[in-house]
Structure formats: structure tokens, C-alpha cells
């Protein structure tokens, strides 16, 4: 049972769109990720997903709107809702989602990560 310091963990990796696991509770995982650029349109059929912004600004595009998240803000995306994260500049994100969640949801692409690592 060790505490996790977000800033220290974010220093351990540099690749974008590659979430790292930093915690697990009640079948849910806490993941850290760095985003930059455009992700792919996708949805998660069975999992709600939470994005909390630790640093930077993240735009999340939906079919009918864009939500802009700044540091200290979070958004919960219900299962089944198509979305596409876009980060003009690097953004540091903490994710909460079930351990079963695939990063690209229902979409398979070069960005799909089937195996996530703990850091």
C-alpha cells in the first residue's frame, strides 16, 4: 500500500496514447497517460470512462459538441458514447475505468494497446 505521486509517475514515460496503470480498486484501474495530437473515434460498449486533467488542456470531440477540459477538471463519458480526444499540446491525464477497458474501445488501430503496463 504505497502512495502514488502523479508528477513522479509522469516522469517515468514519454510516449503518447499509451496509458500506464498506477492503481487498482474495486475492479477499476487508475491509469496515467500523455496525449498529444488526435486520437481515433471510438466508444466503449460496456465501460464508463473518466478523464481527469493533471496538466494541460484536452479537447474531447463528440458527434454533437466539443468539451474542453483544463487542469483540475474531469469528464465522465458514459458507455456507448463515441468520442475522440484531441490535444493541441501535451496533456497529462489520469483515467478511471474498468480493468477490462481497451483504449481504442470498439476500434482497432495502430494506437490500440492490448497490454498495459504498471509503472
Binding site for a copy of itself (CB under 8 A): 1-7, 23-28, 30, 47-50, 54, 62, 67, 69-70, 72-78, 81, 96-98
Q: What angle do CA 14, 16, 21 make, to 5 degrees?
A: 80
* Chain Cα centroid distance, residue 101: 10
Name the minimum Å distance from CB 104 to a copy of itself: 19
31, 92, 28, 82: which is closest to 60 by C-alpha? 82
Q: Judged by CB, which is closer to a copy of itself: 45, or 110?
A: 45
Name the minimum Å distance from CB 107 to a copy of itself: 20
Name the minimum Å distance from CB 35 to a copy of itself: 16
Q: Judged by CB, which is closer to a copy of itself: 38, or 48?
A: 48
Name the DSSP class of 79: T
Q: Helix, strand, or coil here: 9?
A: helix
Amino acid at each position: 500500500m504505497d502512495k502514488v505521486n502523479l508528477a513522479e509517475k509522469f516522469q517515468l514515460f514519454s510516449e503518447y496514447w499509451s496509458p500506464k496503470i498506477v492503481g487498482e480498486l474495486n475492479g477499476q484501474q487508475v491509469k496515467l497517460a500523455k496525449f498529444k495530437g488526435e486520437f481515433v473515434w471510438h466508444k466503449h460498449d460496456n465501460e464508463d470512462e473518466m478523464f481527469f486533467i493533471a496538466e494541460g488542456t484536452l479537447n474531447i470531440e463528440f458527434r454533437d459538441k466539443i468539451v474542453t477540459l483544463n487542469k483540475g477538471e474531469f469528464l465522465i463519458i458514459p458507455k456507448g458514447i463515441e468520442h475522440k480526444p484531441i490535444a493541441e499540446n501535451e496533456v497529462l491525464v489520469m483515467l478511471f475505468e474498468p480493468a477490462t477497458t481497451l483504449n481504442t474501445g470498439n476500434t482497432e488501430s495502430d494506437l490500440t494497446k492490448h497490454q498495459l503496463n504498471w509503472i
